[in-house]
Amino acid sequence: MASSSIKEEIEKANQESVTRMMESDPLWVDIGFAKKVIPGMKDYKLIHAGPPIEWERMSGPMRGAIIGAILYEKWAETPKEAEELAKSGKVSFEPNHHYNAVGPMSGVISPTMPAIVLKDKKYGNQTYSLLNEGIGKVLRYGGYDKEVIDRLNWIRDVLGPVLEATIKEVKKEKEGVALKPIMSQALHMGDECHNRHVAATSLFLREIIPYMMQTRLDKKDLIDAYNFMNKNNFTFLGFAMAAAKAMTLAAHNIKYSTIVTVMSRNGTDIGIWVSGLGNEWFTAPAPVPKGVWFPGFSEKDANPDLGDSAIMETAGIGGFAMAAAPAIVAWVGGSVSFAVENTKKMQEICYTKHKYFTIPYLEFEGTPTGVDIRKVVKTGITPTINTGIAHKEAGIGQVGAGIVKFPMKMFKDALKAFAEKYGL
């Protein structure tokens, strides 16, 4: 049993963690090749979603994304050659979170992919993510055919440079594009900022289009870039994930804190970090989501869950804010009453309610924020998030969207490690 003094230290630490999480102020400030803007990134290194994993244990969609990234980088000419290279040990694989980066689904980031750069105006941290490809057969879901690679090339050659020129125009007037106000407003417009970014994407485009028009780039490139972003309701996802990473990073490495600062999956394992336990991974087998399926697919096609995008729930939005986004159930399944119920249930395992992210339907109550491993173990309730669903075989892509619950094992293991570290 913890002494009163230790309990006081934990409460003080947790209050500091969640306060820092809520007060973090991420700005979009740059975009460039990953190897140029992410410290430690280099050729023949691929970083990915979830806990550490070696090629032999990777799931189908993760392997597909690795193959696609190798083809995109032209390290190999055929999928077979790419697979052989991946097996050879000549390409290193590490988690995005080890680089303060995040990526949806497979989350694979390669050296010449355009990486979004955010800076936390309040605490100074930098975080990184990728531009969104859209839905369906895309790299993050394990697709790697010509259509996928051609789209990635266009993102590198057209969309990336357009946004690079845009953010340079922005910075002539201000420090960057503030993302927290966009996310806060989007929650009042029907988004939950994980699997629904309809409002956030619109708000983001409204913010940057005047600066895009000030660039001296080719008119066709500007129109094509705008149309691509405007037609993709997930355009804002990469920016939102990097923002959430900045928020949770601000809450990380606080001595005595029992607040979860990373929740992530790689299609084989699911893992968490706890603020007071540093960068130690606590893992369990990744569960298969329950969901709504694209035509021709069913649960038997689904891979276990993957992606860094649960950083949204870690920061207090996404599935934890489903009550703000009743329309999300048309995408991930369930009912409007379930969306409201999930938000209320997640409050039971969180330390506080968010100061800036609020839900109109719940009388502008703050979203559940700061998953506390003590509360998870005590209540028996684990985080429930919404997610995309990848086909279990490489090369096929997205087959649906749904809901997934995190296993209890990780939280029990983390609480045990916390007790051992702090002598409880």
User: Residues 145-152: contacts with CB within 8 Å, 24+ apart?
Assistant: 145/395, 148/68, 149/68, 149/71, 149/72, 152/68, 152/72, 152/113
Burial of 184 (0-12, 13-18, 19+ CB in 10 A): middle
- Whether pLDDT at 70 is above 60: yes
Residue 119 has φ and ψ, to the nearest 5°, of -125, 130
Encode pLDDT of 257-311 as tens digits. Answer: 999 999 999 999 999 999 999 999 999 999 999 988 999 999 999 999 999 999 9
Residue 71 has pLDDT above 90, yes or no: yes
Predicted local distance difference test score (pLDDT) of residue 1: 44
DSSP 195: S
**What are the structural domains, with CATH classification, of the chain?**
4-16+250-421 (3.90.1700.10), 27-240 (3.90.1710.10)
User: Over the stretch 28-56, which tens digit does the pLDDT of each residue have?
Assistant: 999 999 999 999 999 999 999 999 999 99
- Mean pLDDT across the stretch 395-422? 94
Share above pLDDT 90 across residues of the chain, in percent, rounded to a whole number: 92
pTM (2 d.p.): 0.96
Answer positive or negative: Cα dihedral of 352, 355, 357, 359.
Answer: positive
What pLDDT is attached to residue 3?
61
Q: What is the pLDDT of residues 162-178, one digit of tens each?
A: 999 999 999 999 999 99
| pLDDT tens by residue, 305-339 | 999 999 999 999 999 999 999 998 887 887 899 99
- Please tell me the predicted confidence (pLDDT) of residue 135: 84
- Cα gap 83→88, rounded to integer Å: 9
Give Cα separations from 388 to 65, 293, 402, 403 (angstroms).
Answer: 15, 10, 6, 8
Query: How far is 418 from 259, CA to CA, in rounded Å?
Result: 11
Distance CA 397, CA 50 (A): 18
Furthest CA-CA distance within the chain: 67
Q: What is the chain's mean pLDDT, rounded?
A: 96
Among residues 143, 139, 127, 53, which one has the least CA distance to residue 93?
A: 53
At residue 137 the predicted structure's pLDDT band, cuts being 50, 70 and 90, is confident
pLDDT category at 19 given cuts 50, 70, 90 is: very high
Question: What tokens were used for 40?
Answer: 């430690």
pLDDT 10s digits, 84-116: 999 999 999 999 999 999 999 999 999 999 999
- Residue ranges of the alpha helices (H) in 306-367? 311-314, 329-332, 336-347
Residue 298, by phi and psi: left (phi above 0), alpha (psi -120 to 50) or beta? beta
pLDDT at 2: 57
CA pair distance 180, 185, nearest whole angstrom: 9
Calpha distance 396→412 (Å, rounded): 36
Is the pLDDT reported for residue 370 higher than 50? yes
- Please enumerate in sequence order all residues whose Cβ is within 8 A of that of 287, keeping only pairs 6 or more positions apart, or say none: 270, 304, 305, 404, 405, 406, 407
How far is residue 124's CA from residue 135's CA, in Å, rounded to a whole number? 33
Spatial distance between the Cα atoms of 36 and 174, rounded to a whole number of angstroms: 23
Residue 165 neighbours by CB distance under 10 Å: 20
Burial classification of residue 415, based on how many CB atoms lie within 10 Å of its CB (0-12 exposed, 13-18 middle, 19 or more buried): buried
